[in-house]
Chain A
């Protein structure tokens, strides 16, 4: 059972363009939604995260949009740069008990120069 569905699987964007990655979740008990960024040969690193009490969170060129009623959230990368080329994972967890993260399958982003 895949509790967090991520799309697209891969994405090519021109330098300066907007990259958009979408995720949908099933478990309404989830209340913490992070995005992780992974470069080749490295472990994932937290990029940005959101809680369902807000609809949008922005940090620099990275923005999370959250739609609680649709159970969807997305990552927008504005002014995409070649250095943003990486694999991006969305995830979700409950903020109770011994919470563990459920990850999406990942999106490989390539920003062409």
Chain B
């Protein structure tokens, strides 16, 4: 059981380039999340999804887009990369609406924009 898998693990982008961070989970979880983690700043929610075809903005959505066409996959798209998007990105999932179900995190994508 792989859990939450994120690819790539590392990436360097030039300013203005675009890329998609991939996230897939094999636990049949309905809820999925994208966070960014900056040093000393904790985790900030970018977007989340409560099921296929349903997404919503989190705290810091500007500069990002998401889609959820299947239960398993929740890709995060950067259209015009900016230095401020240099960060570690984490994808997470949990079964459903009850909050005491823990979120399961992937191991992150470390992204540098130069």
Name A residues whose Cβ lies closer than 8 Å to a Cβ of B: 6, 9, 31-32, 34, 41-46, 49, 51, 89, 93-95, 97-101, 103-106
Q: Closest CB-CB distance, A22 to chain B, in whole Å?
A: 15
> Among the listed B40, B48, B50, B107, which residue makes an inter-chain contact with A106, where contact means beta carbons less than 8 Å apart?
B40
Which residues from B are CB-within-8-Å of A106?
40, 42
Pair B106/A95 contact, Cβ less than 8 Å = no
Q: Closest CB-CB distance, A101 to chain B, in whole Å?
A: 7
Q: Which chain B residue lies CB-closest to A99?
A: B99
Pair A45/B33 contact, Cβ less than 8 Å = no
Q: Which chain A residue lies CB-closest to B91?
A: A43
Which residues from B are CB-within-8-Å of A103?
42-44
Pair B42/A100 contact, Cβ less than 8 Å = no
Q: Closest CB-CB distance, A89 to chain B, in whole Å?
A: 6
CA distance A51 to B98 in the complex (A): 13
Pair B107/A41 contact, Cβ less than 8 Å = yes
B61 interfacial by beta-carbon distance below 8 Å: no
Pair B99/A46 contact, Cβ less than 8 Å = no
Q: Which chain B residue lies CB-closest to A94?
A: B99
Which residues from B are CB-within-8-Å of A31?
99
Q: Closest CB-CB distance, B46 to chain A, in whole Å?
A: 11
CA distance A99 to B98 in the complex (A): 8
Which residues from B are CB-within-8-Å of A45?
105
Q: Which chain B residue lies CB-closest to A3?
A: B59
Pair B97/A44 contact, Cβ less than 8 Å = no
Which residues from B are CB-within-8-Å of A34?
102
Q: A32-B100, A95-B99, A99-B99 are in contact. Are A105 and B105 (CB under 8 A)?
A: no
Q: Closest CB-CB distance, B92 to chain A, in whole Å?
A: 7
B90 interfacial by beta-carbon distance below 8 Å: yes
Q: Closest CB-CB distance, B88 to chain A, in whole Å?
A: 9
Which residues from B are CB-within-8-Å of A94?
99
Q: Closest CB-CB distance, B26 to chain A, in whole Å?
A: 16
Pair B43/A32 contact, Cβ less than 8 Å = no
Pair B98/A105 contact, Cβ less than 8 Å = no
